Amino acid sequence: MWTLLKIELFKISKRPRTYISFAAILAIVMIFQFAFKADGENYMNLMLQGINDSFQLDKQNAMNGYFMCYIILNTLLVQIPILVALIAGDAISGEANMGTLRLVLTKPISRQELLLAKFYASIIYTIILLLWMAILSLGLSLIIFGSGDMLIFRVSGEVSQIMQITSDDILWRYIAAFAYAALALTVIVSVAILLSLFAENSIGPIITTICIVLVFTIVSNMNVPLIDKHIKPYLFTSYLVGWKGFFYIATTAEGVPIRGSIENMNSIVKSIIILVGHIGGLFMLSTYLFNKKDILS
Amino acid sequence: MQDTIVEVRNLSKSFKNFEAVKNISFEIAKGSVYGFLGQNGAGKSTTMRMLLSLIEPTNGEINIFNKPLKGNEKYILSNIGAIIEKPDTYNYLSGYENLKIFSKIFKLPSTKSTLDKLLERVGLSGRGNDKVKSYSQGMKQRLGIAIALLNDPDFIILDEPTNGLDPQGIADIRNLIIHFSKNEGKTILISSHLINEIEMVADSMIILHKGEKVVEGKVSELLDPARTLVKIESNNTKSVIQIISESQWVQHLVSNDSLSFEMNKNDIPLLIKFLVEHEIPVENLKSNHSLENYFLQLTNS
Amino acid sequence: MKYILIILSIFFIHPTGKTQDVNTLMNLIKVKLDKINSYEALATMKTSIAYLKIPIAKVKVKFKKPNELSIQSNSGVTFIPKGVNAISLQNIFSNEFTAIDAGKLNTKDKSLRIIKLLPVSQNSNIVLSTLYINETDLVVEKNSTTTKEEGTYEIEMKYGKYIKYGLPDKLTFTFNAKDYKIPKGLTLDFDNSSPENKKQPQPKSSKGTAEIVFEKYTIN
């Protein structure tokens, strides 16, 4: 298994498309950082509409590296499934297209082993992609914008809120958030690999995965009561933003945030269970279908 | 009795509404070269894929190395080398890297010297560092063969190995197959849609047509020279038939209205001599084996 | 508005003798406060308003005569209510005013003199201040001020160690703040089904408080 995994990682490392994602993240993060360095105050003013009249606030201080990372994640974690799909959607279909699938499968390895190796390799790729993102969006932002307390702007139900997390209470939340994001993106990996079983070129599964994620995300964010109640809980994309749960800090009855706390840990645990369920279900389905599949490519 | 490497019984495969292989059975003896002959869509590749567990049979039994394929895939595949259809490899990797990957799968040493020897064996010396996408079709075929030979398999499956090759490439592959069979004692299953290709290398063969077995047997028997078909073209067929009917050659005549004979290949000079002695004007004389003729008819139908 | 109040106060509240008392009292307080040229104080500030979930901030309160007061954050991001510099009582004396006695407020343990201050200048931001004064210690315990720009705010002060300087140990500043609403679609939030937030409709405008607890004054 370890050998197969190393081979898969080697193959991924040798494909130019692998590096497109890293370059894309670098570009997006740097554009964000440049834009916010140049004109971050406008964004702050937009978020602080109404607050400016009642409070004075050192916006420069609020526009720090931790805040930047949150904004970048907020945007990028919607796009990153596309980059993950680019690799995972190619896992089986790419080999079918190249004609190497039949070559590999005439070697003494089971299909389950091959699928598992490809699955693990895609997850490792995703994790490396996230680490790259963390280095850029958190590490580089902290260097450029400095450290400080972090403001979280949030709309919960009808209520708009600003939560403040002190700088010494943030890092562990990011570590947890990135770990959660890795889990959430593993669902995308599972979807893309499942779809890649049915195609003989990688464009189909990649585009289909992206479409599923986009459509589900749009539906997840519709804010229509009927959808909220009856559809949203069943879409895995509703749980992709669960990483934010680590930043929703619990407060005392007087509204003072409690250091090291999470407002609703149960909902995060529930999301994790749902995501793990999706991964397990999709992987088992993929294994079943792959074992039954006639290799005609 | 020779040992049997492959034993196939009542093998069938259906895809939705299409029956690709219909109830075929055959055996491949150890150390022999076995030919699959058939036009495109005859079921050759499907059968080969079933032998490699790429396709699950709808019905039937496959035993390889005296073990049922189902449940023993790993053991059986570790002793088989195969090229199915095109010799596709990872074209974004170099020849070395491709060999290295498959060496690792077989847990074989993948030092440069081992891989160099392998590349030399298939005539790819000095090209190991080049990306496969820069290879010619012939070079890709050689690399495919190198990969198939990595594990020093006892049984080699080659699906249309000469497809897309130039005459020199075709000759090289043919020599390689003969070498593996005669000098290294390997068992080889080869498919082709050209009868002469099979005739030149195979000991036994099977002709498949639309998924069905048409004929199976030893090449020496199936392509027996005693059953050569000779066709003569003349501008006066009727009078020639008249002359023939009064000679000993009448027993070889296949029909009464065309100048077609079934005879031993060695007797063709005697027939020509007879025609010359009787001043029969001959415009053309063609000879081929009756099985080849039959096969051509199948192909044209 | 200001004039109506003046007229009202003339008619209803003040015998002239008492006005003298009020001015004397105000003067005594002013003299007490004038002793301080500047001070710096370390304090904690707890800002409470419905939409803000922020930690108690460590701040430095700096004052310099005549009425320069600033609150600086020691670390992190601090939401400082606008108009909070009104907590300096010297602020009251920076403008000329007419003091009007408005009687007494008796609580169970003490009695406080109520004085209404009306600025003389028409340009003053302050419309009316109501002070609740502890006459024994010569300190203002509560100040309710209506301004033109920041609405009405209230300051309640509790005194302790620094009572002789007229500086409070604890101060609660109550102010009006506008409603806060994040533009829709900007945040893409995770619905963690927090029951607390689901049932609360956002109030149109909110009252906020800033509770400042002074730990240590350095007085010059």
How far apart CA A80 and CA C28 sit, in angstroms, is 69
Residues in chain A: 297
pLDDT for B297 equals 67
Cβ proximity of C121 and C101 under 8 Å: no
Choice between B189 and A54, residue whose per-residue pLDDT is larger: B189
The 8-class DSSP code of residue C200 comes to P
> For the segment C170-214, what is each residue's pLDDT rounded down to a tens digit?
999 998 887 888 776 666 677 766 655 554 555 555 788 899 999
Across A94-103, C63-72, C166-175, least confident range: C63-72
**Among partner residues B54, B74, B92, which is closest to A102 by beta-carbon distance?**
B54
CA distance B82 to B87: 9
Closest CA in chain C for residue A270: C192
Residue of B nearest to A16 (CA): B92
Q: What pLDDT is recorded for position C104?
A: 86
A109: closest chain B residue by CA = B74
Burial of C190 from C-beta contacts in 10 A (0-12 / 13-18 / 19+): buried
With CB atoms and an 8 Å threshold, state whether C186 touches A153: yes
Q: Quick check: helix, strand or coil at residue C68?
A: strand
Cα separation of the two ends of chain C: 39
What CATH number did the domain enclosing C132 receive?
2.50.20
- How is the beta sheet containing B59-64 ordered, strand by strand? B18-29, B4-15, B59-64, B67-68
Q: What is the mean pLDDT of residues B208-217?
A: 86
How is C92-136 classified by DSSP, letter by letter? HHTS-EEEEEEEEEE-SS-EEEEEEEEESSTT-SEEEEEEEEETT
| C1 has a pLDDT exceeding 90 | no
Looking at CA atoms only, how far is residue A292 from chain B in angstroms? 8
Binning pLDDT at 50, 70 and 90, where does residue C17 land?
very low
Contacts of A99 in chain B (CB under 8 A): 85-86, 88
Global pTM reads 0.83
Q: For position A208, what pLDDT does the model report?
A: 93
Q: Which chains touch C (3 or more CB pairs under 8 A)?
A: A
Cross-chain Cβ contact B102/A107 below 8 Å: yes
Q: Order of strands, edge to edge, in the sheet holding C52-53? A: A150-156, A159-165, C52-53
Would you call A11 and B101 a contact, using CB atoms and an 8 Å cutoff? yes
How do residues B22-40 score in pLDDT, each as one tens digit? 999 999 999 899 999 888 8
Q: Which of A55, A153, A268 sits opposite C187 (nearest CB)?
A: A153
Cβ distance A14 to B93 less than 8 Å, yes or no, reads: yes
The answer to whether the Cβ–Cβ distance between B88 and A100 falls below 8 Å is yes
Element (H or E) spanning A165, and its range? Answer: strand A159-165
ipTM: 0.84
Verify whether the Cβ–Cβ distance A57 to C80 is below 8 Å. Answer: yes
Helix intervals (H) in A135-220: 141-145, 171-196, 203-220
Chain A contacts of B159, Cβ < 8 Å?
Answer: none
How far is the alpha carbon of A9 from chain B, nearest alpha carbon, in Å?
11
Partner residue facing A106 (CB), from B52, B86, B91: B52
Mutate to test the interface with C, among A45, A76, A156 (most CBs of C within 10 A): A156
Helix A16-47 / helix A111-134 crossing angle, nearest 10 deg:
40
- Whether residue A107 lies within 8 A of chain B, CB to CB, comes out as yes
The full length of chain C comes to 220
Q: So what's the pLDDT on residue C205?
A: 59
Cβ distance of A295 and B49 shorter than 8 Å: yes
The rounded mean pLDDT for chain B is 86
Mean pLDDT score of chain C, rounded to an integer?
Answer: 80
CA distance C148 to chain A (A): 14
| Residue-range domain boundaries for chain A | 2-292
Domain of C111 in residue numbering reads as 2-219
Rounded Cα–Cα distance for residues B54 and B47 (Å): 10
Distance CA(B94)–CA(A94), nearest Å, equals: 18
pLDDT score of C200: 53
List the C38-48 sheet strands across, edge first: C68-73, C57-64, C38-48, C205-219, C168-178, C152-159, C139-147, C126-134, C111-119, C97-106
Q: Which of residues 248-287 of A touch C (CB under 8 A)?
A: 248-249, 251, 254-257, 259, 263-264, 267-268
pLDDT at B126: 84
Letter for the amino acid at C26?
Answer: M
Q: What does the pLDDT look like over B98-151, one tens digit per residue?
A: 999 999 999 888 888 888 888 888 888 888 889 999 998 888 888 998 898 888
> Chain A partners of B88 at a C-beta cutoff of 8 Å?
98-100, 102-103
CB atoms closer than 10 angstroms to residue A223: 12
Residue B178 has pLDDT above 80, yes or no: yes
Query: Which whole number is the average pLDDT over A235-250?
Result: 89
* Residues 47 through 76 of chain C touching chain A, CB cutoff 8 Å: 47-56, 73, 75-76
Distance from C22 to chain A by nearest Cα, in Å? 34
* Inter-chain CB proximity A15 and B49 less than 8 Å: no
Of A170, A139, A130, nearest in space to A21 by CA: A130
Chain-chain contact of C186 with A268 (C-beta, under 8 angstroms):
no
Domain count for chain C, please give it. 1
**Percentage of chain B lying above the pLDDT 90 cut:** 33
Local confidence band at A103 (pLDDT 50, 70, 90 cut-offs): very high
DSSP class per residue in A213-239: HHHHHHHHT---HHHHHHTGGG-GGGG
pLDDT, tens only, A31-72: 999 998 888 888 888 888 778 888 888 877 888 899 999 989
Please say if the pLDDT value at position C124 is more than 90. Answer: no
Partner-chain contact A7 B89, CB within 8 Å: no
Instruction: List, edge to edge, every strand of the sheet that includes B284-289.
Output: B260-263, B228-233, B284-289
User: What is the Cα gyration radius of chain B?
Assistant: 23
Task: Give me the count of residues in chain B.
Answer: 301
Whether B105 and A109 lie within 8 Å, measured CB to CB: yes
Does the pLDDT at position A124 exceed 80? yes
pLDDT band for position A291 (cuts 50, 70, 90) = very high
Binary contact (A161, C52; C-beta < 8 A): yes
